[in-house]
Structure 1
Amino acid sequence: MIGFSFLGLAPNHLSGIGRYSVALFEAVIAALPAIPDEPVVAFVPAGSEHHFSDAARSHIRALRMPRHPVARIAYEQLAFPAILRQAGIRTLLNASFTGPLYWRGDMVTVIHDLFYQVVPAMVRPDRRLYLKTLTPPTLRRSRAIIAVSQNTGRDLADTYPDIADRITVVPLACRAIPVSDRMANATRSDRAMMVSTITANKNPRVFVAALKRLHAEYPWASGLIVGDDPEGLAAAAIAEHDASAIVKQQRHVTDGELARLYATSLAVVIPSYYEGFGLPVLEAQASGVPVLCASRGSLPEVAGDGALFFDPDDPDALSRALLAVRSQPDIRQRLVDAGTVNVAKYSWERTARDTLDILRSA
């Protein structure tokens, strides 16, 4: 039996890795008729089952995990191995960085980025300590390591050369963006949008600074940051630039509301100093919205020709890019057309198939 460890899922909302976990497992369940002799089960925290479809929930085992972060780590390392043994798991996919080191079965681990090594000052000290302590031994215990982009694969190989020969790149894909008649004919606004759980590497300051400068000359300029702001970094950037009338925050939205926000945005901006993949790039391209990306990390690789790139330390460069997509229809259309071509290269069906091939190759 193949197991999927989604122990990091939150009951209330999905992070980027949470969306990966759900989308991957849904695609795996859809592929099951082609592998009838290989049962699968996903282990999730109790209360997070509702993120999955009815078909997927029939393959899910909910675990009552402790709430305290340290206790959850101890649960993964000490209690989870016994659960895996009792369930008869042959191969386990760790969906996010770490796995149960004291379980002796076959293990494959997914690495979404190496931000705690590449931009360590931008990672909370407790999070950095956790990843630097448990990720390396998890990688060395894993038969195979899945990197979600070529850039992440290179970072892994450079940082941990002893596991370089076990790295396989399996890109992510874009979730289906529902397009109703109302959204298909939506009126575009002059609002630029960021979509992310805000951490330091997401760089909300340049987004706010660029819009504040642009608004001084062009009063139409405005912005929206969609996503949780656990450390108050986006709120601090808005306050620093006295931009509360220009840039708004919306912490949690439904998928339908997010689709509407994508469809009506002037552009989607990803100003990150580092990304392991960058799913909002593909979501924006699938929504027919121009993408403006920092020229760092995996973003040039994932966005392809369907984005304008800027230095994440240069708010004036971002202001110019926003002005270009607003005032030059040919640039906007070129980005939309190139984005449509680019996003078609990615699919969850392919991601699930390639992941299953790795899991079944033991």
Structure 2
Amino acid sequence: MRVGIDVRSVRADASGPGIYTYRLIRALARRLQGESDFDFLLFHNGRAVGLDGLGPNFVPVRLWHAPGRRISELLFEQVLLPAALARARVDVFHSPVFFAPLVQSCPQVITVHDMYYFRYADRLTLQRRLIYNSILTYNIRHAFCVITVSEFSKRDIAAMTGVSESKIQVIYNCVEPCYQPRPKAAAQQATSKRLNIPAEQRLLLCPAGLSWRKNIPRLLAAFAILKHRHGLPHKLILTGKLEHSGNLEDNRQLKELATSQGIGNEVIFTGHVDENTLIDLYNAAELVIYPSLFEGFGLPVIEAMACGVPVVASNCSSVPEIGGDAYLAFDPNSIDDMVEKVLRGLGDAELRARLVERGLRRAAKFSWRAMADRILEVYRRAVAQRAPAAT
């Protein structure tokens, strides 16, 4: 069986869907070692990384692309890619990042991570709104199968596009095996060198990213209260790129906001960090805070759990489904509730131990093997449905 996958999003600075795609192809490669039933063509635009060493069944295919313009993305998706799929006689095509060719030469599987761009369309430019409302809706309705990453997103997709829930399959994200507890002293030393802070500095970590829905302004307000009223000795680490996001939001103002609240020197914006650095940050932190207003999954929640660090996080969207009883929940719209839960997460030793124990068990449920097996089964069903019935 020949499977085509769009891997453009697997870049050095990948986040969200790009991380999902990278972990998808790695999980498939590990699962199929020594098997020859599947061949994968990995279509990219020249910017993708991490495509080497996956095995002989995984062949990167570069298509021409002019970087940096949405029109070139559309040219890739709607002209170059469908032509390449037809030439290669691909049996099934998987788009892990929402969009797929409108013209189909084979069954399509599309992963839709969440419906953020539908729920909050007012935060998009007019161009992006039109693209999401037209192309993505068409892709969802005409795909053989829509994969999503939580029951929450499944309900959202069905409600907002009118497709039957029977067409939508939930396949949870996986935690890479490298996310695990490390010796705390070593993680603190590594973090100290990278961030130029004392090794004994106590840390809170928010690995959510910096876009509007990540709710960073409220987190900064809560952290200011923790510093000024409660004398918290910790610094707050925020990961993610500090730049204009391309939507109707600009997170560059977050530094100015922190300064205006008197915590400018207490908040560290790391920018994008690589995986090894992120794992050290998890292990060096005393607490991970995830204040997001809207998620389709919430991967950092289970990454933190896998690293053995207690988590306090939002009580909305997909986060309760993913975190279960292994995290301390707060109302992300309430700064006071956020403050209270952070104080509990830091000060209650019995609670912290319980969260760590439950978190490790919870994270173990999101395995790469389960993800790979279920996605391979979707590919098999797509090809079987396409094959003519025997006479």
Q: TM-score, normalised by structure 2?
A: 0.86
Q: Is 1:308 aligned to 2:328, yes or no? A: yes
Counterpart of 1:25 in structure 2: which amino acid?
A: I
Residues 238-282 of structure 1 show CA distances to partners (whole Å, capped at 9, x for unaligned) of 244342112110002222211111001121111111000010001
Whether the 8 Å contact between 2:302 and 2:363 is mirrored in structure 1 is yes
The code of the aligned residue for 1:14 comes to A
What pairs with 1:14-93 in structure 2 (closer than 5 Å)?
Answer: 14-33=14-33, 35-48=35-48, 50-56=49-55, 58-67=58-67, 68-93=69-94
Return 160-169 or 77-86, whichever deviates more. Answer: 160-169
Q: State the distance in 2 between where 1:127 and 1:269 align.
A: 30
Paired residues in the alignment total 360
Letter in 2 for 1:90: D
User: In structure 1, what is the Cα distance between the partners aligned to 2:353 and 2:181?
Assistant: 21
Q: How does 1:96-111 map to 2 (within 5 A)?
A: 96-111=97-112
SS of 2:381's partner is coil
Task: Say if 2:290 is the partner of 1:278.
Answer: no
Alignment partner of 2:224 out of 207, 212, 215: 212
Please give the residue correspondences for 1:2-17 in structure 2 after superposition, counting only pairs within 5 Å.
Answer: 2-10=3-11, 12-17=12-17
Amino acid at match of 2:172: P
- Aligned-partner residue type, residue 304 of structure 1: G
Give the aligned partner of residue 209 of structure 2. Answer: 197
Contact 1:123 1:200 in 2 (8 A): no
Q: Secondary structure at the match of 2:14?
A: coil
Match of 1:246 in 2: 266
Q: What's the secondary structure of 1:8's corresponding residue?
A: coil
- 1:35 is displaced (CA, Å) by 4.8
User: How far does the alpha carbon of each residue in 1:58-105 deviate from its partner, in whole angstroms, 9 at most, with x for none?
Assistant: 522223312112221122111211111111211000101110011331
Contact kept? 1:115, 1:123, Cα under 8 Å: no
Deviates most, 181-190 or 31-40: 181-190
- Residue 287 of structure 1 is matched in structure 2 by 307
The alpha-carbon deviation at position 356 of structure 1 amounts to 0.9
Amino acid at match of 1:173: C
TM-score, reference length from structure 1: 0.93
Runs of 4+ in 1 over 6 A off after TM superposition: none
Q: Name stretches of at least 5 consecutive residues in structure 2 with no aligned partner.
A: 189-199, 245-249, 383-391
Cα-to-partner distance string for 1:292-346 (whole Å, 9 max, x where unaligned): 1111110000011111111111112111111112211111111111111111111
CA RMSD of aligned residues (A): 2.1
Q: Is the 8 A contact 2:180 2:308 kept in 1?
A: no
Greater C-alpha radius of gyration: 2
CA contact 1:291–1:335 (8 Å) conserved in 2: yes
Cα displacement (A) at 1:180: 8.1
- 2:356 corresponds to which of 336, 339, 349: 336
Instruction: Report the Cα distance in structure 2 between the residues aligned to 1:340 and 1:200, rounded to whole angstroms.
Output: 29
| 1:318 corresponding residue in structure 2 | 338
Secondary structure, counterpart of 2:54 in structure 1: helix
The one-character-per-residue Cα deviations of 1:144-199 (angstroms, maximum 9, x if unpaired) are 10011010001011112234321111010112335586447656853211113321
Q: CA deviation at 1:133?
A: 2.2
- 2:372 & 2:226 partners in 1: Cα distance? 43
Letter in 2 for 1:190: R
Deviates further, 194-203 or 170-179: 170-179
1:131 CA drift (Å): 1.7
SS at match of 2:243: coil
Identity %: 25
**Structure 2 equivalent of residue 168 of structure 1:** 169
Instruction: Give the secondary structure class of the aligned counterpart of 2:163.
Output: helix
